[in-house]
Structure 1
Amino acid sequence: MASNDDAPVGAANGNGNTGAQPSLNVLAQYVKDLSFESPGAPNSLRGRDKAPGIAINVNVNANPLSDKQFDVNLTLNAKASFDQEVLFNVELVYGGVFAISGFPQEHMLPILFIECPRLLFPFARQIIAEATRNGGFPPLMLDPIDFAQMFQQKIAEDQAASKVKVS
């Protein structure tokens, strides 16, 4: 069988592709917004006999910068409370600029809303942990997030909403 290794770069390889390898590159990562509030400090820093309740919200947004560059923002919000007292509230919007090329169009949304935030998450997690530690609390170590499940849930919600007609 003949090898196609000597084909010129960009030459068709028989399946309609030009031979360009799909690529996903992180061009930049940045903190867009970081807020830490501890409204009850220093009283909120005292030890407690049980763990506080912690509510965590996650959101992902993506915007095109050009036809091959995208700005993806991962928003993490964590609010710790004990009884009615807010111990801390931390919010982070962590962004990344990604160069994406060579993928079929139908793969772009999963790449933007699953793969890109998956690459950003470890860095955002570390920033949240350091912010809570610097605020006088134990570091908040967020559990891994299943961005694929989040994406599937969002698609299902959007489809359900499009079926509901306003009368």
Structure 2
Amino acid sequence: MAEEGDVLTSLDNLNGANGHDTAPVAGLVTQYVKDLSVENPRAPESYQWQEQPQLDVQFNIGARKINDEFTEVELKITTAAKTSQGTAYLVELAYCGLVGMRNMNDDQRHAFSYAEAPRILFPFARRVIADAVRDAGYPPLLLDPIDFNGLYLQQLQQQRSQAEQLAGEPAGEA
């Protein structure tokens, strides 16, 4: 297990200095599977089903500040394959990265945590999902690439629109 001093040294190495650089720097210190659940509730009958399953894939991104320089970014992916006969499989993954950020304002930190870090983590989470589905006895599920930056910008625009709508509404009735 890495000590906090080791992690701080890793962050110093990201900016190529001994902590004296004032330029913004961010990077992935480590990544890991925090939680993985694979359910194959209808095995072995589900292996005989001829109907093509409908896939439902859900993503959620979370970030938890560890201290002033480190944030845990969590990419949650839930995928379910269902047919009219039932659920073939369900895979739930919480894939995390410990992100080091220094000399960044709050907007930069937010953007890195919710757009760039998930972009970096996704290919590794995608492999875990593919392997888990294969290990459950089905063909590997290869998730399509995701434009996390585009989704992030879209969500920011929606939040701004909602804030503008709320600002334009009357405060109450007289």
Same fold (TM over 0.5): yes
- Structure 1 residues not aligned, in runs of 5+: 1-8, 10-17
Q: Computing the radius of gyration over CA atoms, which structure comes out larger, 1 or 2?
A: 1
Q: TM-score, normalised by structure 1?
A: 0.80
Hey, what does 1:41 align to over in structure 2? Answer: 43
Hey, what does 2:98 align to over in structure 1? Answer: 97
Q: Sequence identity, in percent?
A: 33
Quote the Cα distance in structure 1 between the aligned partners of 2:98 and 2:76.
15
Q: 1:55 to 1:132 in 2, by over 3 A?
A: same
Hey, what does 1:13 align to over in structure 2? Answer: none
Q: Which has the higher helix share?
A: 2
Hey, what does 2:28 align to over in structure 1? Answer: 26
Quote how far apart the aligned CAs of 1:160 are: 4.6
Quote how far apart the aligned CAs of 1:107 are: 1.7
Quote the Cα distance in structure 2 between the aligned partners of 1:161 and 1:44.
45
Structural mapping, 1:8-87, within 5 Å: 20-46=22-48, 48=50, 51-87=52-88
Query: What is the DSSP-based 3-state SS (H/G/I as helix, E as strand, rest coil) of the residue aligned with 1:140?
Result: coil
* Runs of 4+, deviation exceeding 3 Å: 156-167
Cα offsets for 1:56-96 (capped at 9, x unmatched): 10010011111111010000011111125111110100111
Quote the Cα distance in structure 1 between the aligned partners of 2:92 and 2:68.
30
Quote the Cα distance in structure 2 between the aligned partners of 1:159 and 1:79.
33
After superposition, the CA RMSD in angstroms is 2.4
Query: What is the DSSP-based 3-state SS (H/G/I as helix, E as strand, rest coil) of the residue aligned with 2:115?
Result: helix
Quote the Cα distance in structure 1 between the aligned partners of 2:141 and 2:25.
33
Q: TM-score, normalised by structure 2?
A: 0.77
- Structure 2 residues not aligned, in runs of 5+: 1-16
Quote how far apart the aligned CAs of 1:152 are: 2.4
Quote the Cα distance in structure 2 between the aligned partners of 1:27 and 1:59.
21
Q: 1:154 to 1:27 in 2, by over 3 A?
A: same
